[in-house]
Amino acid sequence: MASVTYKNVIKRFGDLEIIKKLNIQVEDKEFLVLVGPSGCGKTTALRLLAGLEEITEGEILIGDRVVNDVAPKDRDIAMVFQSYALYPHLSVYDNMAFGLKLRKTPKEEIKRRVGEAAEVLGITELLQRKPRQLSGGQRQRVAVGRAIVREPKVFLFDEPLSNLDAKLRVQMRAEISKLHQRLQTTFIYVTHDQTEAMTMASRIAVINKGILQQLDTPQNLYDRPNNLFVAGFIGSPAMNFFPAKLLVSEGKVFVDTEDFKVQIPEALSAPFKSLNNTKVIFGIRPENIHDPEFAPPNIHGEKVNTKVDVTELMGNETFLYLVTGKNTFIARVDPRSKRRVGDSTQVIFDMDKFHIFDASTEEAIR
């Protein structure tokens, strides 16, 4: 088992800097997820660790060993790619055993490792089939099994579920999480899907334009995002944002968007009392905007007049797309809500759960 350390890692392709001074400490046995939009550098960071790309500057350590100049085969890692990359002419057993045979592992040891991995993944009855006889989910299990049999210090996953349908992705998410609990090995997992990140990770590293934005637990990222990018990326539907100004009057702090004005609860207002007339971005998540009929008790609720533009009935919840003046936003409300398209109505903002960001730096103000 091993920790992984990125120390001031930079990666350039020509004049283009893809990774910009990346510093991450992955603890032993941790499940770390690298998440961000397409092109942010997360897969490049994984490939640098695997040895598939050369580091321009900085160091990567596995345990206490600097691996910058170590060949990929000697880094004691195993990687699961987005494509299954199975040999079509080999059986499942031979696909899983292929890497061990190249290392001249004894036959009995190969048989033991493949058998144990197949049992863990529930594919024992598939060992004599060819890849063309397998479903997408079964092929992905084989690709994971091929990594497991190597018994590496670190498992690397590069968007392994993106080729699967929605139902199978949910199932495989749970299976990979259970696999991590069973193997007790370091997992580093790359995805652009923040739902995958939130449900699987011990910690999440949010990356944008090659820069680490925040490294924290899923709940802390959701509750206390460091900046506007993290706030908008984590959570589905995304957080609502409103250009606004803070107004301080008689010791009370208000957020004024010009289309509506809401008060910050006095218990939470201290950090903002010195910021009168400061331009900010006011953020509130869709799940913290309620239909007045079904608003939770004992919250600091502020009423906002609005008009319903679109409704999406999801069964267990309803999404209301709302318009107030020049602002549009989404509310995630109780499915019993009777609000319909065209209705002029009020919604309740839960002001115990708001976010304020500096308009110029986009950093959170707490």
SS3 35: strand
Residues 6+ apart with CB under 8 A from 129: 91, 92
Cα–chain center distance at 343? 35
User: How many C-beta neighbours within 10 Å does residue 300 have?
Assistant: 18
Cα–chain center distance at 97? 32
Show the CA angle centred on residue 145, arms to residues 217 and 37, nearest 5°.
40
Of 230, 242, 235, 229, which is closest to residue 328 (Cα–Cα)? Answer: 242
Q: Say what the pLDDT of residue 175 is.
A: 84
Whether a cis peptide bond, with omega within 30° of 0, leads into 296 is no
Question: pTM above the 0.85 mark?
Answer: yes
Q: Which two tokens stand for residue 265?
A: 């609860």
- What CATH code is assigned to 240-358? 2.40.50.140
What are the extents of the domains in the chain?
4-233, 240-358
Q: Say what the pLDDT of residue 170 is.
A: 86
Show the CA angle centred on residue 97, arms to residues 92 and 100, nearest 5°.
165
- What CATH code is assigned to 4-233? 3.40.50.300
Q: What is the pLDDT along the chain (366 residues), one digit of tens a residue?
A: 589 999 999 999 999 999 999 999 999 999 999 999 999 999 999 999 999 999 999 999 999 999 999 999 899 999 988 877 889 999 999 999 998 998 889 999 999 999 988 988 889 999 999 999 998 888 888 988 898 898 899 999 998 888 778 887 888 888 889 889 988 999 999 999 989 999 999 999 999 999 999 999 999 999 999 999 999 999 989 999 999 999 999 989 999 999 999 999 999 999 999 999 999 999 999 999 999 999 999 999 999 999 999 999 999 999 999 999 999 999 999 999 999 999 999 999 999 999 999 999 999 998
Q: Say what the pLDDT of residue 206 is.
A: 97
Tell me the longest C-alpha to C-alpha distance in the chain: 80
Q: Say what the pLDDT of residue 1 is.
A: 57
Q: Say what the pLDDT of residue 121 is.
A: 84
Q: Say what the pLDDT of residue 165 is.
A: 81
Which CA distances in Å does 275 have to 82, 206, 299, 355?
48, 29, 25, 15
